[in-house]
Amino acid sequence: MGSIFIKVREFPTKSETFVLGQMEVITQLGYDLRVLVNKKNELSVSSNPELVKKLDVMNRVTVLPIDSSSRFLKRGWLILKGLLKLPPLRSLKLLSTRRYGEAAIRGRYLLEYLSLRKKISGQVVHVQFGDNVGSLDKYKELNLVDFKLIVTFHGYDAHFTDDNFEMKRMEYKRLFEVGDFFTCNTSFLASKLIALGCPEKKLRIMPVPPNAMMFLQGYVKRELGDVLNLVSVGRLIELKGHGYGLMVVKELLDKGVKVKYTIVGEGDQLDELQKLVSELSIESNVTFLGALAQQEIKELLDRMDIFLMPSVTDRHGRQEAQGVVVLEAQACGIPVIAFSSGGLSDVVQHGETGFLVEERNVLSMTEAVLQLFNNSALYKIMSEQARSYVIKYFSQEKSIERWNEVYKKLLSER
């Protein structure tokens, strides 16, 4: 059936679970999975080592020769040997600083091409993150190797401001011209890519599904108790807005609600958030768990009542693109209360599977929590609808079906 190469910066990782999910889709479709990385980590780093072993991913990894710090003479000899094997005029352009910058003359693109040209010829290379394409668009532009290039954007890689908009457009100009297909997870992100110059005919929205085997299995029916258990999962960074979740907890306590709030994730805002916990005098109500493996997150979600997603627009103008964890929570039957930011409206049905409230409006988020906590009948309905919503629109089966169409089409055009 052909090979599908997934290109990521490093593998395995604790985060970016959607990458492993994509690898599972490729394997289930019967394609030969291959992985291109800049750095190969130990299996123990993975958030789901069992799945990595099941898919035999560690034996399918090729580490790209990106280190340009090797000695000049050795690098020069490798470049010379490489040129003798390649179409001279076109391949020499990979050394052009005018065209490709300083990294070109150091031989980075040429040496990488030498290691890849036979592997990827006639196959599909699926790059994760638009700024991780590396040399592949150059090979397409120079017609050095015949392969299909698909790029999936996830959020930050399509972000731009008024100040850097033109620079970003120029950055992706060649990629959008020579790339064969582009995907993103929400209509919010699609609008960003179109603004940057991505041709609409090459673009398709492909939501990232939750891990079905993990989050849809072992369903625990929801019943509210005397203590309200809130949870948020996400890196401890400004974009995730965890401080607003803490302020919601304070508001709930002031209204007499017994509440526990668990935050999963690590990041550079930990000290700042802990300081806010102290200032709000809610130490006994908040727990920071750090980073957890997927199985641990599933077990935690099964004990929770409501998922808070307080993501906001950060100081750089970045917003949440999709938030896979929102689907993971709903798959477990947990209603989601989120700020209406970025692409979250694509994955939360307001009034059906949860509530979307005005960004940074702590009182509105608090009221939405109370609306559910004080109405067990509504809570039960939303819990069931949240799970049904994920099964209907974001199941693994739906994802496999969508990707089968894409890969099949690209491979048929070889």
Residue ranges per domain, the chain? 3-209+395-412, 214-393
Q: Can you name the CATH fold of 214-393?
A: Rossmann fold (3.40.50)
Task: Name the CA dihedral angle for 350, 352, 354, 355, rounded to a multiple of 10 degrees.
Answer: 30
The continuous run of DSSP H or E covering 383 comes out as helix 376-393
Structure confidence at residue 218 (pLDDT): 76
Structure confidence at residue 87 (pLDDT): 60
Confidence check: pLDDT of 74 > 60: no
Structure confidence at residue 76 (pLDDT): 58
Structure confidence at residue 413 (pLDDT): 79
First to last CA, the chain: 12
Angstrom distance (rounded) from CA 313 to CA 342:
8
Structure confidence at residue 83 (pLDDT): 56
Structure confidence at residue 262 (pLDDT): 98
Confidence check: pLDDT of 366 > 60: yes
Q: Which of 327, 306, 328, 310 is nearest to 319 (CA)?
A: 310
Average pLDDT of every residue of the chain:
90
Banded model confidence at residue 103, pLDDT cuts 50, 70, 90: confident
| φ, ψ of residue 336 in degrees (nearest 5) | -115, 135
Angstrom distance (rounded) from CA 15 to CA 45:
9
Domain 3-209+395-412 indexed as CATH 2.40.37.10:
no
Give DSSP secondary structure letters for 83-103.
HHHS-HHHHHGGG-HHHH-HH
Banded model confidence at residue 89, pLDDT cuts 50, 70, 90: low
- Other C-beta atoms within 10 Å of 79: how many? 18
> Which of 42-56, 91-105, 142-156, 244-258 is predicted least confidently?
91-105
Structure confidence at residue 161 (pLDDT): 87
Cα–chain-centroid distance for residue 326?
A: 12
Q: What is the mean pLDDT of residues 342-367?
A: 97
Angstrom distance (rounded) from CA 369 to CA 251:
11
Q: What is the mean pLDDT of residues 357-362?
A: 98
Q: Tell me the per-residue pLDDT of 404-414, one tens digit each, with 9 for 90 and over.
A: 999 999 988 77
Instruction: Report yes or no: 330 and 171 within 8 Å, Cβ to Cβ.
Output: no
Which SS3 state, helix, strand or coil, does residue 414 take?
Answer: coil
Which SS3 state, helix, strand or coil, does residue 264 take?
Answer: strand
Confidence check: pLDDT of 241 > 70: yes
Angstrom distance (rounded) from CA 143 to CA 168:
24
Please tell me which residue, 215 or 362, carries the higher pLDDT value. 362
Going from the C-alpha of 115 to that of each of 66, 70, 111, 230, the distances in angstroms are: 11, 16, 7, 50
Give DSSP secondary structure letters for 351-365.
TTTEEEE-TT-HHHH
Structure confidence at residue 266 (pLDDT): 95
Instruction: Report yes or no: 384 and 335 within 8 Å, Cβ to Cβ.
Output: no
Domains 3-209+395-412 and 214-393 fall in the same CATH topology: yes
Banded model confidence at residue 384, pLDDT cuts 50, 70, 90: very high
Q: What is the mean pLDDT of residues 297-301?
A: 94
Confidence check: pLDDT of 16 > 60: yes
Instruction: Report yes or no: 255 and 287 within 8 Å, Cβ to Cβ.
Output: no
Structure confidence at residue 85 (pLDDT): 62
Percent of the chain with pLDDT over 70: 92
Structure confidence at residue 209 (pLDDT): 87
- Kindly state the tokens that stand for 187: 């209509």
Instruction: Report yes or no: 145 and 117 within 8 Å, Cβ to Cβ.
Output: yes
Instruction: Report yes or no: 286 and 229 within 8 Å, Cβ to Cβ.
Output: no
Structure confidence at residue 294 (pLDDT): 87
Banded model confidence at residue 219, pLDDT cuts 50, 70, 90: confident
Q: Which of 102, 111, 309, 327 is nearest to 214 (CA)?
A: 327
Please tell me which residue, 287 or 80, carries the higher pLDDT value. 287
Q: Quick one: 227 exposed, middle or buried, by C-beta within 10 A (0-12, 13-18, 19+)?
A: exposed
DSSP 7: E
Q: What is the mean pLDDT of residues 297-304?
A: 94
Q: Which of 309, 323, 393, 403 is nearest to 17 (CA)?
A: 323
Angstrom distance (rounded) from CA 53 to CA 48:
9
Q: Tell me the per-residue pLDDT of 180-199, one tens digit each, with 9 for 90 and over.
A: 999 999 999 999 999 999 99
| φ, ψ of residue 306 in degrees (nearest 5) | -135, 140
Structure confidence at residue 79 (pLDDT): 57
Structure confidence at residue 236 (pLDDT): 97
